[in-house]
Amino acid sequence: MTLETLQPEIEAGVPGCRLEIVPNPSPSAQHSLLIDAEHALPIAKFLRDAPHLRLDYLSNVTGIDWPAREVGEKVKVKKTVDGPDGKPVEQEVEEVQKTLIPGYLEAVYHLYSMELKHGPVILRMRTEDRDQGVHLPSLNSVWRSADFQEREIFDLFGIVFDGHPDLRRLLMWEGFEDYPMRRDYVEPDDYEYEPTAHDEVLRKTLQHHGETA
């Protein structure tokens, strides 16, 4: 089973869905399938229930933070430049064209079939952005093992899983601000909540309060 053969099957089983194969250039070559959030639940049910797929086991879910980034691509353009005799001539030159890619968050699901002994099939869902558009549908109703793992992603990355039965912080306490696994997270220098401050934590705590060890 390859994603190239799986993609048209899903598109036929879930009309209107939008899929994209995301290649993985590493030696593992574990390519993944980017699915649109609007059709995520029917896609998940199709993968779980189709008799020849029976992807009945969700092994893990993880989050990824993709801040806005600028990428450069070399392109050839025609420009008017001064020729050897000082007269303008048209010449093809190579330039770096820069493109800004907006930031987003991603949830990645690894699926296996315990019944048919195959997998993994890796699914990806992306949020609209990293600020207000951070909602994705929960897949907990399809695979119960998504429960705590989606909660962990909500806690550490800030993805809001709509439809989750108990979406609240799992590792950090209620009232904690920000999301520690985001790439732009700034660690606080006030460690007064640390019950046994020591070493570097103690140094930062004392520094925060204007004291010395």
pLDDT digits (tens, 9 = 90+) for 109-150: 999 999 999 999 999 999 999 999 999 999 999 999 999 999
Query: pLDDT grade, residue 156 (50/70/90)?
Result: very high
Q: Is residue 43 part of a domain?
A: yes
Task: Report the alpha-carbon angle 197-181-34, nearest 5.
Answer: 165
Does one domain contain both 124 and 55? Answer: yes
DSSP code per residue over 120-159: EEEEEEE-S-SSS--EEE--TTT-TTHHHHHHHHHHHH--
Does one domain contain both 91 and 132? Answer: no
Does one domain contain both 192 and 96? Answer: no
| Per-residue model confidence (pLDDT) at position 213 | 56
Does one domain contain both 33 and 81? Answer: no
Q: Over 90: is that where the pLDDT of 21 sits?
A: yes
Does one domain contain both 124 and 37? Answer: yes
Does one domain contain both 198 and 123? Answer: no
CB-based contact 137:150 (threshold 8 Å)? no
Does one domain contain both 118 and 149? Answer: yes
Q: Is residue 176 part of a domain?
A: no
Q: Is residue 27 part of a domain?
A: yes
pLDDT digits (tens, 9 = 90+) for 157-212: 999 999 999 999 999 988 888 999 999 998 776 655 555 556 777 777 777 777 66
* Mean pLDDT for the stretch of residues 2-19: 96
Strand 135-137, strand 160-162: pairing = parallel
Does one domain contain both 110 and 13? Answer: yes
Q: Is residue 177 part of a domain?
A: no
Spatial CB neighbours of 210, under 8 Å, sequence gap ≥ 6: none
Comparing 157 with 98, the larger pLDDT belongs to 157
Percent of the residues in the chain that have a pLDDT greater than 70, as a whole number: 94
Alpha helices in 28-129 (DSSP H): 40-49
Domain housing 206: 183-213
| Per-residue model confidence (pLDDT) at position 72 | 85
Residue type at 168 in one-letter notation: R
| Per-residue model confidence (pLDDT) at position 75 | 86
pLDDT digits (tens, 9 = 90+) for 31-77: 999 999 999 999 999 999 999 999 999 999 999 999 998 888 888 88
Does one domain contain both 109 and 192? Answer: no
What is the distance between the alpha carbons of residues 124 and 24, in angstroms, rounded to a whole number?
Answer: 13
What is the number of structural domains in the chain?
A: 3
Q: Strand, coil or helix: what is 1?
A: coil
Does one domain contain both 54 and 125? Answer: yes
Does one domain contain both 113 and 201? Answer: no
Residue type at 206 in one-letter notation: L
pTM, entire model: 0.81
Does one domain contain both 163 and 193? Answer: no
| Per-residue model confidence (pLDDT) at position 1 | 75
Q: What CATH number is associated with residue 22?
A: 3.30.460.80
Comparing 191 with 102, the larger pLDDT belongs to 102
